[in-house]
Amino acid sequence: MMATLAKAALQLLLLLIAAPLLSGFIRTLKARLQMRRGPGILQPLRDVWKLLRKDMVIPETASWIFAATPYVYFSTAMLVGLLVPMIATAAPLRLFGGVLAVIYLLALGRFFMALGALDAGSSFGGLGSSREMTISAIAEPAMMLAIFTVAITANSTDLSEMARVSVSQSWKFLAPSQMLAFSGLFIALLAETGRIPVDNPATHLELTMIHEAMVLEYSGPYLALIEWGASIRQLVLMTLLVNTFFPFGLSANWTPINLIPGLAFYLLKLLLLAGAVVLVETSNAKLRLFRVPELLAVAFILGALALISTFLF
Amino acid sequence: MNTFPSEQLFKLGLEIYLAAGIFGLLAWRYRNLARIVVFSLTALGAAVEGGACFTALVSGQTSTVVIPSGVSMVAWTFRLDPLSCYFNLALAVVALAVSIYSLGYVRGFAAHKPVGLFCFFYCVLLIGLTAVFSAANAILFLMAWESMALAAWYLVSFDHEIAENRQAGSLFFIMSHAGTACLLIAFVLLGTWSGGFDFSTFHAAGAALTPLRQGALFLLFIAGFGVKAGMIPVHIWLPAAHPAAPSNASALLSAILIKTGIYGIIRVAFDFLGVPPLWSGFLLLAIGGATALMGILWAIIEPDLKKMLAWSTIENSGIILMALGAAMMFQSYGQTALAAFALMACLFHIFNHAIFKALLFLSAGAVVHATGTRNLERMGGVIRLMPLTAAFFLVGALAISALPPLNGFVSEWMIYQSLLGGFRSTTSVTRVLFPIAGTLLALTGALAAACFVRAFGIGFLALPRSPEASLAHEAHPTMLAGMGVLAAACVALGVSGSMWMGVLGSVTHQLFGINIGADAAMASGLTLGSGLQAAGGLQKTPASLAIAVLLISVLPLLLWVLWLRGRTRVTGPAWDCGLPRLTAHNEYTAMAFSKPLQMIFAAFYQPRRALHAEYEVSTFYPTSVHFESEVAPAFETRLYAPLIARFMARAGSFRRIQAGSIHAYLAYIFVTLILLLIWSTRA
């Protein structure tokens, strides 16, 4: 029991700190690629700290849903973070539901986020909420299909078990099914985290914004919780991607001697994936909203091919 | 004679329903008396039935209840086997909540409405449903089936002043009878082939039938039961009929009545036939997938709150059929454990859907009653005026979107597990179907979440969108109590899903001879290899997930207490581009919310748009613009309308021989007589 708590506390700490840093890294790297100086890696952490100390403005039209949303969004993100193996193959919490619980807990956060956006009563919120639910409705099946492929290969939907199996067959990632599933999941990741071909995290233009439109009415500590939560969600999804497909260096247990190289490997993999995301963001333009389904259809087809190739090869 | 108390309780429950119905009919003059006595009695009856079925289910025994009819040769025989008891338990829970709710809800009926008659048919419906779920022979089953349909027809056309409701009632009546005709033929065939009309005879003889006969029976039964289950393409009555009834009746129809169809298919597939043919499971899987997707796509664009819920019932019926189809396929592959697990998933989803759909219909009914409109675009702001009702609707919306830690998640998780497990059930190429079906389930799940964000966000949040909505008031305490029972059940079933496995296990024990619910403890690993081990995952109880959700939300709450409490909060107007004041006109509409999905799935909806603009000087300055957009109901216009047109044309050609001349008719009679005489002498 104490051991579980210690593991959970350790991973929670890592989540809370690494998530904003990862966002900062992506932002800085992107700026450098675009010949800008960029705000520095620490900026998202500074933003959270600053927002937490500010006062809030609550829209007068809002109900308790508006106030509950930041908590739900943040706590589901944290819980999901504890369910995913980050530096060791065994996640601190192994609960009922496995990877499906991860996806549906993320959906729970999104459900409340979309409600909170509608609760303020302005059309921007509705706009963001409608687009978010639309995109997630088509991104989720693509993501599930890719995950099913991995689950079928590992013969389990439990994340720790999936990680254990993929560590034991470490060259498996070269199998066509795994590569196809990875590509499908990567596209779904771009959609779920609001990255450039789908949503532009750096804009407040009402014609294009999705996530920003939903959080428009939030300020102060509520906004801090939401932004923090959003960066944790991003970290969790990226962790899911790197650790299921490239399980190298995952520590087999929670002893310090194994954890330190595990952490180093984990951060390295994460930074590489972040680099890939940045490359995609810099070299692509944002798609029109109604072109996004085509992109996600590609992800879906990749997932389907992955599934079929599991028993062809 | 009665050794087991559940039999007596079962009988008692039926008698209470009957007494309540008769009282309602006798006391028709005294509206309030009839309402209070009848609904209190039905609540009591439902509690008794629930107790009877639960004890019978836990014991896992089968018992028989015979009620002499007073007519020779006919006895009303009920059989309380685990499958019957399971469905009756779902009925009892919903009936209990709906009866409590009705105590307050029926007060709101207009003065000229026959409350007594409503009460009577409500009781007939309850008796009919109970009897359908527990009839021991085909004759009682069909009688119960018909009385249930008749009562439902009355409830659907209760508000008959509105032409739309009358049409909905007739449509229901016609479709229902077309279905019953199929059932009648199927039962007669099965009766002649097996030599009796008892279900036990069917059970004994079913497995020995030739594949051709099994196939023919199956098609007839699927067609007959499919009508009630809201399966496409025979679903068209459902979105018309369920919203037309008063909301307490809609809840019962959507939560339980459609399950009679599912019950029938389960009974035929696993009890009568034992091992259903492989293609029939595949057929149900395919139909279920199509039904689920189509139901939710229509739900998303529906502006009428109750109609939206009815479409979502079709979606869930599709999900249930998918699980059932998978179970049937596993059984024909010989994977009994996996089939049992898939059937458990199916049964659990049946129960869960009954609970949360009844909850959603009851809370929607409270809102419709308070605001006087069913149109989402005219609601809004309800959460401030009806906080408890809104909270109950939110619980239902979260549960139906399969979000943890509520009950919908547990059963959908089980369906996912059985579909993924299906990949290893066979080595043939058909196994790709199962993960694909799982993906379809993911798609419908995500669309359902979008649909219920829209319903709750547009219908309940922000500012009232019409004067009626701003005058809404909180529902009557008994209505709130009825909803509260169901909301508590949603949470309880989500948290204690693993305890429920034993109950589900006794049904699979009856049908498959194995009870993986009870055996699940022996498997600790969460592997997909077989249903046995997949069920083992449930031992890591859903409760642990719920507890974790609670614990983890303590952290931000702590943050709130320590940190945010001291912060000043300023309440101000929401930002709307610097316009003076936000009004309801600035709010996003339900139509706009679902527009992106409507455009993405345009190939499915085939929307019709017409734009007319008149210009004088230049095309850039139109003097008047007229825009029309419509999504026509696909099956009605593309399948039924041509069919009806062709039928009418064919019928018209008969008019030639029926010209209205009495001489011609006399000639027909004469010729017929001659022909008959010739025929009889020939033989």
Q: In whole angstroms, what is the distance from residue B141 CA to residue B77 CA?
A: 10
Q: CA distances (Å), A259 to each of A80, A240, A252, A274, in order?
A: 20, 18, 9, 22
What mean pLDDT is predicted for residues A127-137?
93
Please indicate whether, in this complex, the C-beta atoms of B574 and A148 are within 8 angstroms of each other: no
Q: Tell whether A45 lies on the interface with B, counting CB pairs under 8 A.
A: no
Identify the residue among A61, A214, A236 best suited for mutation to test binding to B, counting B beta carbons within 10 A and taking the highest: A61
Closest CA of chain A from B414, distance in Å: 9
In this structure, what token pair is assigned to residue B396?
């239902």
> Do residues B265 and B296 make contact, with C-beta atoms less than 8 angstroms apart?
no
Q: Which residues of B touch A74 (CB under 8 A)?
A: 556
Under DSSP, the state recorded for A199 is -
Cα B381 from chain centroid? 29
Counting other chains too, the contacts that B51-54 makes at CB distance below 8 Å and 24 or more residues apart are B51/B6, B51/B9, B52/B5, B52/B6, B52/B7, B52/B8, B52/B9, B52/B10, B52/B12, B52/B13, B52/B80, B52/B85, B52/B88, B53/B6, B53/B10, B53/B80, B53/B84, B53/B85, B53/B86, B53/B88, B53/B89, B53/B92, B54/B85, B54/B89
Nearest CA in chain B to A222: B564
Q: What is the ipTM of this complex?
A: 0.95
| Residue B624 clears pLDDT 60, i.e. is over it | yes
Q: Which residues, listed in sequence order, are joined to residue B624 by a DSSP beta bridge?
A: B614
Specify the 3-state DSSP secondary structure of B3.
Answer: coil
In this structure, what token pair is assigned to residue A271?
């930074």
Counting other chains too, the contacts that A28-31 makes at CB distance below 8 Å and 24 or more residues apart are A29/A274, A29/A275, A29/A278, A30/A278, A30/A281, A30/A282
| Residue B562 clears pLDDT 80, i.e. is over it | no
In this structure, what token pair is assigned to residue A34?
């675009």
Whether residue B435 has a cis bond before it, omega within 30° of 0: no
| Residue A41 confidence (pLDDT) | 92
Q: CA distances (Å), B661 to each of B458, B654, B669, in order?
A: 63, 15, 13
| Residue B434 clears pLDDT 60, i.e. is over it | yes
Report residue B119's pLDDT band, with 50, 70 and 90 as the boundaries: very high
In this structure, what token pair is assigned to residue A52?
């937490």
Least confidently predicted of A245-259, B96-110, B262-276: A245-259
| Residue B524 confidence (pLDDT) | 30
- Count CA within 13 A, CB hemisphere, residue B345: 35
What mean pLDDT is predicted for residues B157-173?
91
E-strand stretches of chain A = 56-59
Is the sign of the CA dihedral B357, B358, B360, B364 positive or negative? positive
What mean pLDDT is predicted for residues B305-317?
96
Least confidently predicted of B310-314, B338-342, B445-449: B338-342
Domain regions of chain B by residue span:
1-136, 635-682
Per-residue pLDDT tens for A239-290? Answer: 999 988 888 888 888 888 888 888 999 999 999 999 999 999 999 988 888 8
| Residue A313 clears pLDDT 80, i.e. is over it | no
Q: In whole angstroms, what is the distance from residue B365 CA to residue B371 CA?
A: 10
Report residue B532's pLDDT band, with 50, 70 and 90 as the boundaries: very low
What mean pLDDT is predicted for residues A210-233?
91
Nearest CA in chain A to B574: A59
| Residue B122 clears pLDDT 50, i.e. is over it | yes
Least confidently predicted of B200-214, B583-597, B625-639: B625-639
Query: Token match 């006087």: residue?
Result: B372
Q: Which residues, listed in sequence order, are joined to residue B629 by a DSSP beta bridge?
A: B609
Please indicate whether, in this complex, the C-beta atoms of B409 and A95 are within 8 angstroms of each other: no
User: Which segments of B372-496 does DSSP mark as H helices, in order?
Assistant: 382-385, 387-400, 407-421, 433-460, 467-470, 477-495
Write phi, then psi, for B611 (nearest 5 degrees): -125, 120
Q: What whole-number percentage of chain B has pLDDT above 70?
A: 91
What mean pLDDT is predicted for residues B48-52?
93
Q: Tell whether A4 lies on the interface with B, counting CB pairs under 8 A.
A: no
Q: In whole angstroms, what is the distance from residue B582 CA to residue A61 CA?
A: 9
| Residue B383 clears pLDDT 90, i.e. is over it | yes
Per-residue pLDDT tens for B207-242? Answer: 888 889 999 999 999 999 999 999 988 999 999 999
Q: Which residues of A touch B584 (CB under 8 A)?
A: 121
Q: Report which of B9, B144, B25, B170 is spatially closest to residue B77, judged by C-alpha positions.
A: B144
With a CB cutoff of 8 Å and minimum separation 6, the contacts of B364 are: B247, B305, B306, B309, B393
The single-letter code of the amino acid at A74 is F
Q: Which residues of A touch B420 (CB under 8 A)?
A: 148, 151-152, 157
Query: Token match 């999900």: residue?
Result: B319
| Residue B253 clears pLDDT 90, i.e. is over it | yes
| Residue B539 confidence (pLDDT) | 47
Number of domains into which chain A is organized? 1
Stated pTM of the model? 0.93
Look at phi and psi of residue A220 and say left if phi exceeds 0, alpha if psi is from -120 to 50, else beta: left
Q: Which residues, listed in sequence order, are joined to residue B612 by a DSSP beta bridge?
A: B626
What mean pLDDT is predicted for residues B146-161?
93
Q: Which is more confidently placed, A1 or B528?
A: A1
Please indicate whether, in this complex, the C-beta atoms of A130 and B594 are within 8 angstroms of each other: yes
Average predicted confidence (pLDDT) for chain B: 87
Query: Token match 């009890």: residue?
Result: B271
With a CB cutoff of 8 Å and minimum separation 6, the contacts of A237 are: A106, A189, A192, A193
Strand pairing report for A56-59 and B569-572: parallel
| Residue B563 clears pLDDT 70, i.e. is over it | no
| Residue B533 confidence (pLDDT) | 45
In this structure, what token pair is assigned to residue A237?
């999804």
Q: In whole angstroms, what is the distance from residue B407 CA to residue B136 CA?
A: 31
Q: Which of B450, B542, B576 is closest, CB to CB, to A122?
A: B576
Q: Which of A59, A60, A289 is closest, CB to CB, to B596?
A: A289
Q: Which residues of A touch B456 (CB under 8 A)?
A: 115
Q: Which is more confidently placed, B561 or A283?
A: A283
Q: In whole angstroms, what is the distance from residue A213 CA to residue A120 CA?
A: 11
Report residue B527's pLDDT band, with 50, 70 and 90 as the boundaries: very low
| Residue B531 confidence (pLDDT) | 39
> Do residues B228 and B296 make contact, with C-beta atoms less than 8 angstroms apart?
no
| Residue B585 confidence (pLDDT) | 82
| Residue B302 confidence (pLDDT) | 93
Strand pairing report for B75-80 and B63-68: antiparallel
Radius of gyration, CA atoms only, chain A:
19
Which residue range is the domain that position A81 belongs to? 2-312
What mean pLDDT is predicted for residues A185-190?
94
| Residue A50 confidence (pLDDT) | 92
Identify the residue among B541, B565, B593, B601 best suited for mutation to test binding to A, counting A beta carbons within 10 A and taking the highest: B593
